[in-house]
Amino acid sequence: MEPLLLLGAPTNQARDAARAAGRFGKDMRHRVTDRTLTDLLGLPGMIVTEYVIEVQGSEEILHIFCKHEHEVAMCPCC
């Protein structure tokens, strides 16, 4: 897997990212799948379906849209 080169990133940051990518063996890397956001965010029982990044002035707000993994779900408080 080739390291990601960010557009506009200073050259030294791109080299640092390439060096960091070389430190991780293939057994440590994970391919992006339909469940990647769900797994990274730790949302058991949910599936992230969409996201929106909203810009408000100098801040960015991440909105995450999810659905239940199963057709029927129980309230965790009941």
Q: What is the pLDDT of residues 2-30, one digit of tens each?
A: 455 445 555 566 667 667 667 777 776 77
pTM for the predicted model, two decimal places: 0.52
CA distance 65 to 47: 9
Determine the Cα angle at 60 with ends 20 and 44, to 5°. Answer: 70
Distance CA 54, CA 6 (A): 21
Residue 4 DSSP class: P
Cα-Cα end-to-end distance for the chain = 46
Kindly report, residue by residue over 26-67, the tens digit of the pLDDT: 776 777 788 888 888 898 888 888 889 999 999 999 898 998
Structure token digits, residue 62 = 């991440």
